[in-house]
Amino acid sequence: MARRKGLVINDRQLDRCDDLLRKLKEVSGSSFLALISASGQPITTASDEYHPETLSLASLAASSFAATRQLAKILDENEFTLLFHEGKALNLHVSQVTDQVLLIVTFGRQTQVGKVRLYTQRAMEVLRQVFEGPDDEEGPAMDSGFEADAGLAIDDLFKDL
């Protein structure tokens, strides 16, 4: 069961992730990559032309992945760490980076699955270090006026409703 622990991402982590996703995209020949949180929120993406709707994508990929993991548990199998769908024009590959982070890769039929797997596997090792490495950097703090301003924004969003 996932622990209740916030996921906070700083500049350095995001830079490294973006860098890595770009490289992975190039070498693996994939069309779209996204890092998402295990609870279904997008962290960052890499893409040229293909732009699926990221919020729905993240929510659905995280929930199918979570369901797949529970399926594995029920079947006494610990190693369903990957979700793979093969389509007519597109393949989808979702794998687990850490407890809290998942990697989504989509690629076309002309790209070899084996190649994507191999490079994804390598990239995951590096990504894991980005999220699990010693947290030497003091995390940035939320702006002190955030709560008050957010309250006003909420009133505004729901006014007249």
Partner 1 sequence: MPLINFAAREINYKIVYYGCGLCGKTTNIQYIHRTINPEARGKLVSIATEEERTLYFDFLPLTLGTVKGMQTRFHLYTVPGQSYYNASRKLVLQGVDGVIFVADSQITRLDENVESYLNLWDNLLAQGDDLAKLGFVIQMNKRDLTDVFSVEDLNELLNHTNSPVVEASAITGKGVFDTLKSVCKQVISKTG
| Contact code string over 51-90 relative to partner 1, x by CB under 8 A | --x-xx--xx--x--xx--x--------------------
Q: Does 134 bind partner 1 (CB under 8 A)?
A: no
CA separation for the pair 125, 55 (Å, rounded): 26
Is the Cβ of residue 37 or residue 47 nearer to partner 1 in the bound state?
A: 37
Of the candidates 76, 54, 53, 57, which has an alpha carbon nearest to the alpha carbon of residue 65?
A: 57
Q: Does 149 bind partner 1 (CB under 8 A)?
A: yes
Distance, C-alpha 12 to centroid of its chain: 17
> Parallel, antiparallel, or unpaired for β 101-108 and 90-98?
antiparallel
Among 23, 27, 29, 37, binds partner 1 (CB under 8 A): 37
- 95 phi/psi in degrees, rounded to 5: -135, 160
For partner 1, the binding residues (CB under 8 A) are: 1-15, 37-41, 43-44, 53, 55-56, 59-60, 63, 66-67, 70, 139-140, 142-143, 145-147, 149-151, 153-155, 157-158, 161
